[in-house]
Amino acid sequence: MDKEILEKVNQQIIAQFPYLTGISPQISQVREGLFELKYTGSVLTANGQTLPVVVKVVADDLGKIQKLITSR
């Protein structure tokens, strides 16, 4: 995946999930022209607990997000 396209996807994800700022995704190619980016981070809850968060994104080679999955 091109660095400019990766940066475009990262900006979209950080706008939606600000707690993932500074997290680099693991990138794997799903098929020709589609990539899966997996962001793994954590969030501090209201009661002080740390909650792991995983955001998976499937994006095309133009930076358009096709699918977004979050887990908590």
pLDDT tens sequence across 18-54: 999 999 999 999 999 999 999 999 999 999 999 999 9
pTM of full prediction above 0.75: yes
Phi, psi (5° rounding) for residue 46?
-60, -30
Is there a contact between 39 and 67 (Cβ–Cβ < 8 Å)? no
Is there a contact between 20 and 43 (Cβ–Cβ < 8 Å)? no
pLDDT tens sequence across 4-18: 999 999 999 999 999
Where do the domains of the chain lie, and which CATH numbers do they carry?
3-71 (3.10.450)
Is there a contact between 61 and 35 (Cβ–Cβ < 8 Å)? yes
